[in-house]
């Protein structure tokens, strides 16, 4: 906690703790540490069907990059994260037009939220207009090493239940982040759809994973 406070990465808001994590809001001033974890079990489709398992979604592709721009801040143009997203879509042979939900990294930091917005306007580009973008960190806080696992589970469940969870607390949405960020749950379309899960870390580490609906 002291280390992140010294880095000026944590929110200094002393108000209602449930309103402190506010991704995409103009009053955001840093992230809130959270605690938790999750496990996502991966297996081949053949093995899952042979044992009669319920298939929640398909892991289609992943991309990993490192921009090494700064120990804490992302590349201001989001170039490293953009590369990771492109790699994930390419590995999964995913048409960006099928991506309808994004579980964004969005930690509630001033620069990070803007950089990720630039990434999504680059990839999937014009198709981002049809994407529901959510930040579950607004409700869970930032789990650091556990964040990616928990948010991958949230992304899979969004596909399974055809429901995108909301982002809470963006009372005054930052115009610099021009994305569809609903503050209440949003129903996702029927048919074959895909969802993107972004996770970015200190030192410029970037990971993007694309999941596809199972039914």
Q: Of the candidates 153, 151, 157, which has an alpha carbon nearest to the alpha carbon of residue 139?
A: 151
- Residue with token string 């870390």: 201
Asked whether 63 and 85 are in contact (CB, 8 A), the reply is yes
* Structure-token pair, residue 15: 């108000």
2-213: CATH number: 3.40.47.10
Can you give the residue ranges of every domain in the chain?
2-213
State if pTM tops 0.85. yes
User: What is the pLDDT tens value at each position of the chain, 215 positions in all?
Assistant: 898 888 888 999 888 889 999 999 999 999 999 999 999 989 999 999 999 999 999 999 999 999 888 887 888 899 999 999 999 999 999 999 999 999 999 999 989 999 999 999 999 999 999 999 999 999 999 999 999 999 999 999 999 999 999 999 999 999 998 999 999 999 999 999 999 999 998 888 999 999 999 97
Please tell me the number of Cα atoms within 13 Å of 82 on its side-chain side.
16
Provide the CA 48 distance to its chain's centre, in angstroms.
27
């Amino acid at each position: 906690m002291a280390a992140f406070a010294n880095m000026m990465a944590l929110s200094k808001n002393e108000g209602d703790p449930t309103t402190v994590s506010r991704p995409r809001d103009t009053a955001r001033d840093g992230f809130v540490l959270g605690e938790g974890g999750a496990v996502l079990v991966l297996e081949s489709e053949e093995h899952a069907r042979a044992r009669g398992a319920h298939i929640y979604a398909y892991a289609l592709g992943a991309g990993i990059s490192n921009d090494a721009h700064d120990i804490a801040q992302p590349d201001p143009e989001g170039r490293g994260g953009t590369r990771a997203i492109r790699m994930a879509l390419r590995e999964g042979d995913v048409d960006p037009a099928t991506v309808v939900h994004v579980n964004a990294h969005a930690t509630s930091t001033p620069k990070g939220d803007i950089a990720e917005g630039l990434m999504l306007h680059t990839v999937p580009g014009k198709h981002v207009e049809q994407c529901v973008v959510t930040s579950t960190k607004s409700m869970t806080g930032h789990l650091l090493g556990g964040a990616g696992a928990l948010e991958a589970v949230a992304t899979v469940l969004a596909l399974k239940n055809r429901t995108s969870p909301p982002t809470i607390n963006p009372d005054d949405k930052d115009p610099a982040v021009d994305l569809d960020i609903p503050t209440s749950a949003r129903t996702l379309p029927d048919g074959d759809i895909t969802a993107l899960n972004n996770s970015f870390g200190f030192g410029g580490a970037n990971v993007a994973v694309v999941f596809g609906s199972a039914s």
